[in-house]
């Protein structure tokens, strides 16, 4: 069995790129007054996957921005993800697409050997962050960190529709323009962290926070902490609190058991995964609503991590009825019991409130949502899901009222807001294999057709021939001459 490279660990990756050959030259023309063909908002695994796939499709003029000051502060991996390993399987196709030499396994084996890769059950979280950094480097993806999209508006009056982008670059306002947008803006990319109303006062007084926010766990030492929610993030936050010396952690789950009833898993069912967008709305809604109703099951290692602590207490079928703040404590009523907590952590997921994100607030009312398109049966009603955008085949926004905002088709959204439409939390690793190529294909088609006359002119123009008659003149059969010699 091969161990690891004794020379440069990047040799195999460089060789793979060499064999792949140079990326096609950019075929998308630039236009006066338009800075970028595409702006990708978010430089995490999704933004990086798109940047590489677009490069290999010969689509240039792509700019990737990220509001984070630097890679280590972007996305979740080194910020508020608190598990030791990824929750997804280690062998999924990631941002490398079909170029396996640029995948996590190749990267990991080149540094630690094949046996080390075989020995890990899941990908260590920090190794994944390190790999993504490496992937951006080797594929030449430059992310403009410290650059936030604040808002944007369509500029439809010119010959070529595009967007005016209001950016904040290291705190300074700046305006740029782009023809298309890809929102690769993370798990809260279509809304915000959802904090139950009953925690509003506690949050405002610094006595509660969402798992998606920064939490000073060291400050919780010796305190009594509540965690609301029973998905992976809730358990991970509980574990970190316990590891930081909290006096007690009480985790409250709505459901009466932790392991959800098995749900049809799109990602493990190729027929469904590959054709999800073609499914009837009723089928897609059923899967999404059922999945949300049952809740996601925390991975066993997240559960085992908290079970090591005798001061961890699990409350099942225990929804909070109320919460008040009194004398610096959060007083919670749960059924007939009252609890006093020093701090509350809400592991309660994310919303689809497009208007809650400043950069989307200006378009939110124009976007077609599932509730505009589909009336679920009463037993499958889910208002939060109904607020999710109803995406087109290029994962683009569609118009709520046809004819009012055709430019929405140039906004491609790639975050969990697309769950009802695609059956997957877009942005998670399992979504990359199928949906990134599909969106790139659509972007390619849109850009081609938008400049069709120019492309026609380019491809119909006479090009100089490679060689002239002199190359083969000596071999041309001279019928008369041959007869004479005979």
Ligand X SMILES: Cc1cc2nc3c(=O)[nH]c(=O)nc-3n(C[C@H](O)[C@H](O)[C@H](O)COP(=O)(O)OP(=O)(O)OC[C@H]3O[C@@H](n4cnc5c(N)ncnc54)[C@H](O)[C@@H]3O)c2cc1C
By CB under 6 A, name the one of 75, 389, 394, 418 that touches ligand X. Answer: 75
Q: Near ligand X by CB under 6 A, which window of 63-71, 251-259, 338-346, 395-403?
A: 63-71
> Judged by CB, which is closer to ligand X: 44, or 191?
44
> Judged by CB, which is closer to ligand X: 184, or 364?
184
Closest CA to 320 of 239, 218, 411, 200: 200
> Judged by CB, which is closer to ligand X: 46, or 421?
46
| Phi, psi angles (nearest 5°) of residue 72 | -65, -20
Position 187 contacts ligand X (CB under 6 A): yes
Position 67 contacts ligand X (CB under 6 A): yes
Position 223 contacts ligand X (CB under 6 A): no
Contact pattern for ligand X over residues 80 through 99, marking x by CB under 6 A: -x----xxx-----------
Residue entry with tokens 């599932």: 370
By CB under 6 A, name the one of 110, 233, 297, 348 that touches ligand X. Answer: 233
Contact pattern for ligand X over residues 334 through 363, marking x by CB under 6 A: -------------------------x----
Contact pattern for ligand X over residues 101 through 140, marking x by CB under 6 A: ----------------------------------------
| Phi, psi angles (nearest 5°) of residue 362 | -70, -20
By CB under 6 A, name the one of 37, 63, 110, 185 that touches ligand X. Answer: 185
> Judged by CB, which is closer to ligand X: 148, or 290?
148
Distance of CA 136 to the CA centre of its chain: 16
Q: At what angle do helices 104-112 and 125-138 cross, to 10 degrees?
A: 100
Position 422 contacts ligand X (CB under 6 A): no
How many residues in the shown chain lie near ligand X by CB under 6 A?
Answer: 28
> Judged by CB, which is closer to ligand X: 88, or 201?
88
> Judged by CB, which is closer to ligand X: 26, or 88?
88
Q: Which of residues 42-61 bind ligand X (CB under 6 A)?
A: 42, 44-47
**What CA–CA distance (Å, rounded) separates 120 from 98?**
23
**What CA–CA distance (Å, rounded) separates 261 from 257?**
9
Interface with ligand X (CB under 6 A): 41-42, 44-47, 65-68, 74-76, 81, 86-88, 148-149, 184-187, 233, 359, 427-429
């Amino acid at each position: 069995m091969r161990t690891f490279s004794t020379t440069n660990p990047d040799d195999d990756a460089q060789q793979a790129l060499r064999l792949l050959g140079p990326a096609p030259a950019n075929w998308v023309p630039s236009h006066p007054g338009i800075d970028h063909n595409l702006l990708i908002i978010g430089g995490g695994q999704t933004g990086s996957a798109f940047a590489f796939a677009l490069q290999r499709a010969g689509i240039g003029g792509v700019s990737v921005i990220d509001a984070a000051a630097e890679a280590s502060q972007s996305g979740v991996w080194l910020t508020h993800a608190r598990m030791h390993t990824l929750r997804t399987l280690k062998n999924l196709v990631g941002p490398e697409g079909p170029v396996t030499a640029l995948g996590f396994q190749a990267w990991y084996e080149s540094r630690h050997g094949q046996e080390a890769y075989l020995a890990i059950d899941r990908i260590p979280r920090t190794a994944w962050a390190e790999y993504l950094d490496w992937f951006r480097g080797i594929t030449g993806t430059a992310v403009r960190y410290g650059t936030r999209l604040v808002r944007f508006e369509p500029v439809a009056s010119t010959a070529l529709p595009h967007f005016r982008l209001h950016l904040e670059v290291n705190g300074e306002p700046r305006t740029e323009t782009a023809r298309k947008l890809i929102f690769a803006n993370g798990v809260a990319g279509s809304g915000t962290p959802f904090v139950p109303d009953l925690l509003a006062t506690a949050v405002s007084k610094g006595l509660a926070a969402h798992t998606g926010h920064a939490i000073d766990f060291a400050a919780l030492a010796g305190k009594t902490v509540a965690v609301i929610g029973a998905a992976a993030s809730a358990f991970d936050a509980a574990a970190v609190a316990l590891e930081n010396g909290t006096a007690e952690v009480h985790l409250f789950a709505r459901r009466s058991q932790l392991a959800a009833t098995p749900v049809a898993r799109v990602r493990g069912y190729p027929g469904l995964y590959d054709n999800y967008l073609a499914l009837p709305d009723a089928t897609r809604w059923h899967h999404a609503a059922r999945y949300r109703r049952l809740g996601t099951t925390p991975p066993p290692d997240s559960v085992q991590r908290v079970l090591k602590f005798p001061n961890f207490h699990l409350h099942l079928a225990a929804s909070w009825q109320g919460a008040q703040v009194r004398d610096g404590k959060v007083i919670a009523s749960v059924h007939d019991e009252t609890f006093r907590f020093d701090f509350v952590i809400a592991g309660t997921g994310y919303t689809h409130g497009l208007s809650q994100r400043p950069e989307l607030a200006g378009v939110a009312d124009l976007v077609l949502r599932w509730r505009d398109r589909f009336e679920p049966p009463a037993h499958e009603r889910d208002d939060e899901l109904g607020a999710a955008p109803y995406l087109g085949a290029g994962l683009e926004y569609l118009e709520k009222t046809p004819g009012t905002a055709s430019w929405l088709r140039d906004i491609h959204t790639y975050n969990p807001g697309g769950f009802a439409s695609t059956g997957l939390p877009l942005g998670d690793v399992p979504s990359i294999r199928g949906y990134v190529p599909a969106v790139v294909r659509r972007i390619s088609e849109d850009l081609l057709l938008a400049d069709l006359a120019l492309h026609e002119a380019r491809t119909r123009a006479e090009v100089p021939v490679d060689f002239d008659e002199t190359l083969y003149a000596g071999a041309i059969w001279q019928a008369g001459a041959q007869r004479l010699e005979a």
